[in-house]
Amino acid sequence: MQKTFTALFLVTAVFVNVNAFEPFTEARKVLAEIVKLGKTTYSFFQESCDDSWIDFNSTGLQVDLEQKFFGQHIASKVLLKAITDFANNKTPKKPLVLSLHGLTGTGKSFVSQLLASNIYKKGMSSSFVHQFVATVHFPYSSEIDIYKTQLQQWIKGNVSSCARSMFIFDEIDKMPPGLIDSIKPFLDYYDNQDGVSYRRTIFIFLSHAGGERIKQVAFEFWENGKDREEIQLSDLEEKVPLEVFNNKYSGLWHTSLIDKYLIDFFIPFLPLEYRHVRLCALAEMAIRNMEPDEDIADKVAKDMMYSPQEERVFSSKGCKKIASKLVYYK
C-alpha cells in the first residue's frame, strides 16, 4: 500500500513540474527529488538501526512493569535498573547479560516482551530482536558443533549490522550442554572482535533453573507469616547461581559464564499466588475488550492447580493457559 501511495504522489509531482518548467534540466532535478523522497519514505516504513527505531523509554517500562507485571517485585526492580543504567551509558564496557530464572508461567517470556517493546518501536517483531528457543533451534545434542558455528555466525552477523541488537535465549536449561559457552567471547570485556563491538548488545537467558529453590525460599517466607514483598534479592542471589551451576540440566552447568562473572544480573521470578492469577485473568479480559468480571476471575483462579499439596499457595503453572480458560467460562 505504501508503495502505491508514493508512486501516485510522485507521478503527480513530475507532471506539475515538467509542465511548468524547461523540460530536461527540470526533469533531472525532479528525478533527484523523487529518489530523495523515495528514500525518506522507505526509511519511514523500513526499520533501521537508529534512534528513530531504537529508543529506550524508561517511563514506559516502569509503567508497564507496575501495571502489567504481577507479583514480581524483585524482578521489576532489578530489570528496570539494569536496563536504564545500560541504556544511559554511552560507553558500556561489555554487553548487558541478564539471566532470568523461575518456574513455568511466572512471566519470564512476558517480561522479555515488555522490555523489547520499550526499547524497539517494533517490539518483538523488530528485526533487531532475535529469539532462540532451545527445543526449536537446537533440538539435537549430536549436532552441537553445527549449532555452535551457526550461532556464532548469526550473532556476529546481526551485531555487525546493528550493535543495539537483543538476543533472547529461551529454555536454556534444554540446550545441549556446552552450547551456551560458544557465545562466551561475545559477552566478555573486549573492545571489539574482528571489528565488531558487542558492547551495546543485550543478551537475555531464560530458564527454569533455580526455580524450585526460589519457590522454597518463597514458601519459607509464607510459612513464617512474612510478607512476600519482604523477600529480598539477597535472600535468593547467593543460592540461585550455586544451584544453577551444580544442576546438570540447567544448561549453564559448569559453564565458564558463571565462573567469569559474565552474567551481570541473576533475576529470580517468584512463584505466583491465587491473587496474581486473578489479576492475570482480569488483565486478559481487558486485552480482549471484555467487561472485567471478578467472578469469572475467581473461577479461573480456582480452577488452577496449587502447590504444595496441602497448603496450596503457589499456582503450579503460574499464569499459563489463563487465556484458554477464559473462553471456557465466558
Ligand X SMILES: *[C@@H]1O[C@H](CO)[C@@H](O)[C@H](O)[C@H]1NC(C)=O
The site string for ligand ATP over 81-120 (x = CB under 6 A, - otherwise) reads: ---------------------x-xxxxxxx----------
Partner from ligand ATP, ligand X, Mg ion, none binding residue 158, C-beta < 5-8 Å depending on class: ligand X
Q: Which is nearer to ligand X, 41 or 57 (CB)?
A: 57
Site string for ligand X, 136-155 (x = CB under 6 A): -----------------xx-
Collapsing DSSP states into helix, strand and coil, what is residue 99? strand
Reading the block at residue 172, the C-alpha cell is 536454556
The region of 42-50, 76-84, 219-227, 318-326 touching ligand ATP under the rule CB under 6 A is 318-326
Residues 6+ apart with CB under 8 A from 163: 49, 197, 198, 199, 200, 201
| By the rule CB under 6 A, 69 interacts with ligand ATP | yes
SS3 104: coil
Instruction: Please state the separation of Cα 21 from the chain's center in Å.
Output: 55
Name the residue among 55, 62, 60, 63 with its Cα closest to residue 79.
62
Q: Decide which of ligand X, Mg ion, ligand ATP, none touches 176; Cβ closer than 5 to 8 Å per partner kind.
A: none
Neighbouring residues of 244: CB distance < 8 A, sequence distance ≥ 6: 99, 101, 207, 209, 210, 250, 252, 258, 266
- Chain centroid to CA 318: how far? 18
Beta strands 306-307; 314-315: pairing state: antiparallel
The residue sitting closest to ligand X, measured at its beta carbon, is 157
C-alpha cell read off for 199: 558492547
Q: How far is the CB of 287 from Mg ion (least distance, A)?
A: 18
> How many chain residues bind ligand ATP (CB under 6 A)?
18
What residues have CB less than 8 Å from 323, skipping those under 6 apart? 284
The reply to whether 109 sits near Mg ion by the rule CB under 5 A is yes
The site that binds ligand X (CB under 6 A) totals a number of residues, namely: 9
- Answer for which of 157, 226, 249, 287 binds ligand X (CB under 6 A) is 157
- Binding residues, by number, are 102-109
Binding footprint of ligand ATP on the chain (CB under 6 A): 68-72, 102, 104-110, 208, 280, 318-320
Give me the residues that bind ligand X (CB under 6 A), please: 57, 59-60, 63, 130, 153-154, 157-158
Footprint of Mg ion on this chain (CB under 5 A)? 108-109
